[in-house]
Amino acid sequence: MLKITPYLGALVLIVSIGGLWYPALGYFMLLIFAAIFLSSPFRGRWFCGNLCPRGSLVDFWVSKISKKKKIPASLRSMWVRLPIFFLLMGFMGYRIVNIVGALNTFEKIGMVFVTMCLVTTAIAVLLGSYLSPRAWCSFCPMGTAQRLLGGKRYQLQLAKEKCINCKKCEKICPMQLKICENKTKSDCIKCGRCVAVCPKDALQF
């Protein structure tokens, strides 16, 4: 992860709470969307593990109160993820289309982004507290988009001959991935924690 990663969680609070008084803050979401769609075709879900403000919030703040349970496999299923993606994106698009042309259009569209940020952050915090910090990230619409655009890019490489099967990498993985299985990990967020904790330098990107 980047040195700035642990501090980015403040941004999602500024947008989702401060945006209630200053709707223009909602347009920060457009920068997030742009960064996601520019980076994911080349590095998959790298944004999630390094620059996502909500990811930082759950990793470094919510994790302190999380029960850290196992993330249900059903939440990772595309049968769950794709409907959620289209539902949230469709609802946001519908709201924006109905606002265009109205009075104070700029502020009202900003409030749509703020509302989406606030609602999804509340869900992320609740799931992160009750289940695991990154529970929301297992089916996050933007995470799903990154997986579809570049899930096979910038893959974690495992040198099997070096691995001693200590499972330290799997214990520290925020996404609870099976790192010791030498398979494509489309939901790897490239945070690098597994690489850092490996005692045999068996992992690298």
Asked if residue 172 lies in contact with residue 193, where contact means CB atoms within 8 angstroms, the answer is yes
Bridge partners of residue 157, in order along the sequence: 204
Pair of tokens at residue 12: 């999602």
How high is the pLDDT of residue 100?
A: 85
List of the chain residues with pLDDT < 70:
none
How high is the pLDDT of residue 101?
A: 77
Residue 86 to residue 92: CA distance in whole angstroms: 10
> String of b and e for 36-52 (b: at least 16 CB within 10 Å)?
beebbeebbbbbbbbbb
Asked if residue 179 lies in contact with residue 203, where contact means CB atoms within 8 angstroms, the answer is yes
The angle, 0 to 180 degrees and rounded to 10, between the axes of the packed helices 28-43 and 141-150 is: 30
Residue 77 to residue 79: CA distance in whole angstroms: 5
pTM of this prediction? 0.91
How high is the pLDDT of residue 116?
A: 95
How high is the pLDDT of residue 127?
A: 97
How high is the pLDDT of residue 1?
A: 85
Q: How many CB atoms lie within 10 A of CB 158?
A: 20
Asked if residue 14 lies in contact with residue 114, where contact means CB atoms within 8 angstroms, the answer is no
Assign 194 to helix, strand or coil. helix
Residue among 175, 165, 177, 168 nearest 196 (CA): 168
How high is the pLDDT of residue 125?
A: 97
How high is the pLDDT of residue 181?
A: 86
How high is the pLDDT of residue 96?
A: 93
Instruction: Tell me the torsion sign for CA atoms 3, 4, 6, 7.
Output: positive
Asked if residue 187 lies in contact with residue 49, where contact means CB atoms within 8 angstroms, the answer is no
Instruction: Find the largest Cα–Cα distance for the chain.
Output: 65
Beta carbons within 8 Å of 165's beta carbon, 6+ residues apart: 180
Residues belonging to the chain: 205
How high is the pLDDT of residue 36?
A: 95
